[in-house]
Amino acid sequence: MRVRRFELRLIGGALVAAWSVAAALVLVAYRPGGPLDVLVGITMLAPIVIGVASVISPPVARGANAFPAMVALGLGSLLVLVPSIGGVLNQILAFGSQTLMPSIEAAYPWVLALVGTSLFSAFGLVRRWPTAAAIRRQRLTLGVVLAVGLTLFSGGLFAAVAIANELVLQRSASTAISSRFGPVRSGEPAACDGGLSTGTTARLRAT
């Protein structure tokens, strides 16, 4: 049982590390120019807290099928999360600090990773509840309910702040978005046949 607990804590630690990298990218590099840029990054700390719970209380499960299922759940969440982090890094390097309002296809793996992390942590947390310690079906039900709550709270918090930041940026006609083309309002440069105008901001580098 100690070996299983250690293995599950390793997986939980890997989830914490992955979510920490994602949060660091958003906190450091996410600067589209909105008033809530920093707050968007702070909301990324919620999945880290959820992952830490799995390290403190790993989802140790008895039985021939329960333990492999927990391992598969944790590793599956990692396999979905790591490529998503790479996608955010590529977006920042290629297009600059644009808003983090992806399409449904781009947001889908993040939701899966958050759901998997929440389930992985929730099943460990419910084992500490005395009322659910003796009944496996009750632990499963409580774990799913807790995971849904954690997912809705964490994902909803990030989505609400990110959408609010996006709306403020769209309504601000004077805000220039940083991109690989320079500071532009729409994130894309003006058409080649468009008129020339003075930019609202500039980026200088001493050489």
Query: How high is the mean pLDDT of the chain?
Result: 81
- Residue 99: what pLDDT? 59
- Residue 189: what pLDDT? 60
pLDDT of residue 118 exceeding 90: yes
Report which listed range, 57-61, 81-85, 135-139, is most confident.
81-85
pLDDT of residue 69 exceeding 70: yes
Q: How far apart, in Å, are the Cα atoms of 91 and each of 26, 31, 32, 169? A: 11, 13, 13, 19
pLDDT of residue 100 exceeding 90: no
In DSSP terms, which residues pair with 184 in a beta bridge?
177
Give the whole-angstrom CA distance, residue 138 versus residue 133. Answer: 8
Please give the average per-residue pLDDT across 115-131, as a whole number.
87
E-assigned strand segments in the chain: 177-179, 182-184
